[in-house]
Amino acid sequence: MSAAPSGPPIYLDADACPVKDETYRVALRYGLTVHVVANSVLNLPREPWIERVVVGSELDAADDWIAARAGPETIVLTADVPLAARCVKAGATVLAFTGKPFSESSIGLALATRDLMQSLREAGTITGGPKPFSRADRSAFLSALDRAVNRILRDRPKPG
């Protein structure tokens, strides 16, 4: 990848992200820049199109960094529902690590479900946690990210 990136930037909420390698594969295919945002230094491939962003350890520092840059023609990858809500509001394309898209029509339910589960956990209810990440989740993520990139590229105004 030698030319300047011409596609949408990808902002990856990288702490505990199971699909970094898949994200890099799609980014390489389309010539995109991936901003890998974390609270600590992560071991990343040394590629000019992968930008390591280490934010402070303050609560929500990574979320704030990503949300400040999210907007139309950006892709945000996160499992954090409040961050997803902020980025959807800014017009970004937002995907969960399972490939599930967050949208204006789905984010309210996702926030309500998150809040309900948090309340149940705080009340001492054992909720079991998320199911293990599967090969099908990985495949669904790859397909969803590929579709998101293609949609943004297709919907861009044509030069001239």
Domain assignment of residue 87, yes or no:
yes
- CATH assignment at residue 143: 3.40.50
* Cα separation values, 67 from 76, 84, 148, Å: 9, 9, 18
Q: Give the pLDDT score at 7.
A: 85
Task: Identify whether 14 is part of a domain.
Answer: yes
Q: Report the alpha-carbon distance of residue 78 to residue 63 in Å, rounded.
A: 9
Q: Give CA torsion, residues 86, 38, 58, 82, to 10 deg.
A: 20
Does a structural domain hold residue 19? yes
pLDDT at 115: 64
Give the pLDDT score at 3. Answer: 47
Q: pLDDT value at position 103?
A: 84
In this prediction, residue 2 carries a pLDDT of 45
Residue 124 lies in a domain: yes
pLDDT in tens, the chain (160 residues): 444 457 899 999 998 899 999 999 999 999 999 999 999 989 999 999 999 999 988 889 999 999 999 999 999 999 898 999 999 999 999 999 999 999 877 766 666 665 666 766 677 777 666 678 899 999 999 999 999 999 999 988 777 6
What's the domain count of the chain? 1
Residue 98 lies in a domain: yes
Crossing angle (nearest 10°) for helices 61-69 and 81-89: 20
Query: Quick check: is 99 in a domain?
Result: yes
Would you say residue 95 lies in a domain?
A: yes
Q: What is the pLDDT of residue 15?
A: 84
**What local confidence, expressed as pLDDT, does residue 49 receive?**
96
What is residue 104's predicted lDDT score, i.e. its pLDDT? 75
Q: Quick check: is 115 in a domain?
A: yes
What is the span of the domain harbouring residue 25?
10-155
- What is the chain's Cα-based Rg? 16
